[in-house]
Amino acid sequence: MQILVINCGSSSIKADIIDTLTKKSIFELDAERINTSPEITINKNLVEYNGEINFKNILQFCFQKIKNDELSNSIVGIGHRVVHGGDVYQQPVLIDEHVEKIIEDLCSLAPLHNPANLAGIQEAKEIFPSLPNVAVFDTAFHQTIPNRAKYYAIDKAIADSLKIKRYGFHGTSHKYVAEKASNFLQTDLKNLRIISCHLGNGASVCAIEYGRSVETSMGFTPIEGLLMGSRSGDIDAGIIFHLAKKGNLSLEQIEELLNKKSGLTGLSGIGNDMRDIILQAENGNENCRLAIQVFTHRLTKYIGAYAAIMGGFDVLLFTGGIGENAVEIRNRVCQKMNFLGIDLDDDKNKTEKLSDEKEVINISDETSRIKILAIKTNEELAIALESEKIIQEKNKVNCVPKIPIAVSARHVHVTRETLDILFGKDYELTVFKNLSQPGQFAANEMVTIVGTKNKIENVRILGPIRPKNQLEISRTDEFFLGIDAPVRDSGNVAGTPGITLIGAKGTAILKEGVIQAWRHIHMHPTDAAIFGVQDKDIVNVDIDDDERPLTFKNVLIRVSDKFKLEMHIDTDEGNAAQIKSGEEGTLMLSEKAVSLIVKNV
Ligand code: ADP
């Protein structure tokens, strides 16, 4: 599949067409500084933009450029990075109006990001109206963090009303690299405790206990935690009051200071680029040395803390621009943690390099109890793969035909001979209502059925007449009548209990014929070919009900060119599943059968 991945930030737009088979980006659009002096490149070539400098115009321009490219014809869906999914989304989701509304409602929690993400979604819908859109949330992976790590110790009522808690970010990357580590080590994620250090311009650590995020250093906003390119990370909240009271800074100025002028930028005084800072530190720049020391000290502190909360761990992984490349930073962080079982192989740390061909490197010494890995993160690919899953799921739901369900009330089929006894010689049934199966009808004629305990009146005869008598009742009816009838397929009445039927003209005592109908699906051979099933196969059927979802197992397939697609269940089954005639079920097919259907459609 080819998926268009959109990452709309407040000042940049990034779009990639990712081929999920080769896992490569085959088209790349980058628009930087879009609010001031836009610089747009496509596949690294500069593109001229002469339009008005505003977000919407540039967004439109970029999307139109994508649409004009030949490759856009092969796109099957669009994956959007959405920063904040609040408490609502634990997984990526197919975008509809309801999802858009929630993303909009969450703008107050991510005022810089969610509005831009939403604008990207709306523009994508305009320009690619037939493509499905998927939202992949930065926060989703961290929804498993327990309350003890989620809550800030401030007045709970205030915190709850303002939705103040730890949400965490970088979730898509932490999840992606954790899965990479699990593949590399050939150990199920469920058996690993991982500390994942995503060290890019934004930086966060995540404790991943057996596949679930249980702690992360970014919190209510992405400012908390590690020292970052230009964000402060953890500070004493008292500093904010001090800045306001003694520094005379406004709220906006403090926000700007902590987000844009702090972290590596603030400490080093030379900008946010770790490469430059390392170089300058080597040349004796004290501020750059301090920036590195504070950066690594804080990272070490978090790793120690996360080791403690997980009661130990198995994998330490580094990712993001700094984590993937900065030998010195990895070295400094690992040096002090021998006591935890961390033993870095200095040579491998220096010489092993990540590349497109080598996305994971093991830099731990053979004796190291904890595996130390550097892993190339790829958030665009992660978003494309997550989106692909959702789109395939949607295709399945759309392509696999639904099966209408009919709830059969108790009824009786009679032979010529029995009808003679019940209604008189050569009596002909009259049509009360035609049934959905061709040629079948509910007759006006009804009988009373008499069991050993009770009788039931007004049981309808279904026409036309058949070669064998057959009374189809539910388990509840059986108890009421005092009969124990087996579950049988239609026509298979040998050895079943008998029953007495009373008609308008006489009483027929049947020696056999009472069954509970085996739940079954009538299919025309064309349907059977679509579903890839045959007469007498046994399948499972899902009832997609939000409140009481249910799977009917052991459903018999009956194929005949006289049949129309319909599943028949009895009243007990209908009641249990709260199904009324006319609702639908989904045949549960093997992955292979589904992919065949999807392909054929
Ligand atoms: P973003 O979070 O914006 O995606 P990246 O993950 O690309 O950022 O990380 C950018 C950071 O990685 C910068 O600080 C950059 O200096 C640093 N970096 C990249 N390569 C190296 C390197 N070889 N050595 C040290 N730092 C590096």
Residues 86 and 127 in one domain: yes
Whether residue 571 is predicted with pLDDT greater than 80 in this model: the reply is yes
Gap between the Cα atoms of 173 and 548, Å rounded: 35
Domain assignment present for 390: no
The catalytic residue positions are 138
Q: Which atom of ligand 1 is nearest to the CA of 329?
A: 25
Best probe residue, ligand 1, of 176, 275, 276, 377 (max atoms within 8 Å of C-beta): 275
Q: Could you tell me if the CB of 229 is within 6 A of ligand 1?
A: yes
Residues of the domain holding 273? 171-380
CB of 320 sitting under 6 A from ligand 1: yes
Would you put residue 33 in left (φ > 0), alpha (ψ -120 to 50) or beta?
left
Are 126 and 179 in the same domain? Answer: no
Cα dihedral 578, 581, 583, 584, rounded to 10, equals: 110
With 90 as the cut, is the pLDDT of residue 588 above it? no
Residue reference for tokens 């059927």: 541
With a 6 Å cutoff on the Cβ, whether 38 touches ligand 1 is no
CATH number at residue 242: 3.30.420.40
Give distance in angstroms: CA of 26 to centre of ligand 1. Answer: 23
Measured from the CA of 201, which atom of ligand 1 is nearest?
2
Ligand 1 geometric centre to CA of 322 (Å): 5
User: Does 464 sit behind a cis peptide bond, omega within 30 degrees of 0 on the bond before it?
Assistant: yes
574 and 447 Cβ atoms separated by less than 8 Å: no
Write down the mean pLDDT value for the chain. 93
pLDDT at 260 over 80: yes
Beta bridge partners of 523: 559
pLDDT at 9: 86
Contact 173, 377 (CB under 8 A): yes
Last residue of a domain, one of 322, 353, 380: 380
Q: What are phi and psi of 76, to 5 degrees?
A: -105, -10
Atom 13 of ligand 1, residue of closest alpha carbon: 273
Q: Does ligand 1 come within 6 angstroms of the Cβ of 321?
A: yes
Q: What is d(CA 47, CA 65) in angstroms, rounded to the nearest whole number?
A: 10
Distance 222 CA to ligand 1 centre (A): 17
pTM summary value: 0.72
Q: Ligand 1, from 7, 322, 324: best to mutate by most atoms within 8 Å of Cβ?
A: 322
Q: What is the DSSP letter of 200?
A: S
Ligand 1 mean position to 49 CA, how many Å? 28
Q: CA of 573: how far to CAs of 475, 543, 569, in Å? A: 9, 12, 6
387 occurs within a structural domain: no
Q: What is the pLDDT of residue 531?
A: 84
Q: Are residues 260 and 194 in the same domain?
A: yes
Q: Which atom of ligand 1 is nearest to the CA of 202?
A: 2
- State the distance from the centre of ligand 1 to the C-alpha of 185, rounded, in angstroms: 26
The answer, yes or no, to whether any atom of ligand 1 lies below 6 A from the CB of 274, is yes
Of 83, 199, 201, which is best to mutate to test ligand 1, by the most ligand atoms within 8 angstroms of its C-beta? 201
Ligand 1 binding pocket includes 265 (Cβ within 6 Å): no
Q: How far is CA 163 from CA 152, 217, 219, in A?
A: 11, 18, 12
Share of the chain above pLDDT 90, in %: 83
323 CB less than 6 Å from ligand 1?
no
The candidate with the shortest Cα–Cα distance to 570, out of 438, 475, 469, is 475
d(CA 58, CA 247): 38
Output the pLDDT for position 585. 81
What pLDDT, on a 0 to 100 scale, did the predictor assign at position 589? Answer: 66
Cβ–Cβ < 8 Å for 64, 127: yes
CB 170 within 8 A of CB 138: yes
Do 97 and 182 fall into the same domain?
no
User: Which atom of ligand 1 is least distant from the CA of 377?
Assistant: 6
In this structure, are 375 and 399 located in the same domain? no
406-429 per-position pLDDT tens digit: 999 999 999 999 999 999 999 999
pLDDT, one tens digit per residue, over 180-227 is: 999 999 999 999 999 999 999 999 999 999 999 999 999 999 999 999
Residue given tokens 């390119």 in the structure block: 229
Instruction: Please tell me the distance between residue 421's alpha carbon and the centre of ligand 1 in angstroms.
Output: 91
CB of 325 within 6 A of ligand 1: the answer is: yes
250 and 275 housed in the same domain = yes
The pLDDT of residue 590 is 60
Same-domain pairing of 419 and 480: yes
Q: Is a pLDDT exceeding 90 seen at residue 385?
A: yes
Same domain, 490 and 556: yes
**Within-domain flag for 143:** no
Using pLDDT thresholds of 50, 70 and 90, give the confidence band for residue 375: very high
Q: Which of 137, 162, 186 is the last residue of a domain?
A: 137
Residue 273 CB less than 6 A away from ligand 1: yes
Do 365 and 435 sit in the same domain of this protein?
A: no
Count of structural domains within the chain: 3
Residue 389 within a domain: no
Give me ligand 1 centre to Cα 274, in Å: 6
188, two tokens:
């199920």
CA pair distance 375, 361, nearest whole angstrom: 7
Distance 125 CA to ligand 1 centre (A): 33
Does the Cβ of 322 fall within 6 Å of ligand 1?
yes
Question: What is the mean pLDDT of the segment spanning 294-313?
Answer: 98
The finding on whether 326 has its CB within 6 A of some atom of ligand 1 is yes
CA 174 to mean position of chain CA atoms: 16
pLDDT at 530: 84
Given a contact cutoff of 8 angstroms between Cβ atoms, the answer to whether 133 and 78 are in contact is yes
pLDDT for 397:
67
- Domain boundary among the residues 350, 380, 410 is at 380
Of all atoms in ligand 1, which is nearest to the CA of residue 379? 4
Residue nearest to atom 21 of ligand 1 (CA): 325
Q: What is the pLDDT of residues 75-134, one digit of tens each?
A: 999 999 999 999 999 999 999 999 999 999 999 888 889 999 999 999 999 999 999 999
Residue 161 domain-assigned? no
**Are 453 and 361 contained in the same domain?**
no
> Which pLDDT score, from 0 to 100, does residue 542 have?
83
Residues 532 and 600 in one domain: yes
**369 domain residue, yes or no:** yes
Mutate to test the pocket of ligand 1, among 113, 274, 276, 353 (most ligand atoms within 8 A of CB): 274
Q: Round to whole Å and give the CA distance between 413 and 437.
A: 15
pLDDT tens per residue, range 501-545: 999 999 999 999 999 999 999 999 998 988 888 999 888 888 876
Asked if residue 297 and residue 365 are part of one domain, the reply reads: yes
Domain-located, residue 155? no
Note the pLDDT of residue 592: 61
As to burial, measured by CB atoms within 10 angstroms (0-12 exposed, 13-18 middle, 19+ buried), residue 500 is middle
What are 38-57's pLDDT values in tens digits? 999 999 999 999 999 988 99
Distance 173 CA to ligand 1 centre (A): 15
Kindly state the average pLDDT of the residues 366-374: 97
pLDDT, one tens digit per residue, over 429-472 is 999 999 988 999 999 999 999 999 999 999 999 999 999 999 99
Query: From the CB of residue 235, how many other CB atoms can be counted at a distance below 10 Å?
Result: 13
Is 273 a domain residue? yes
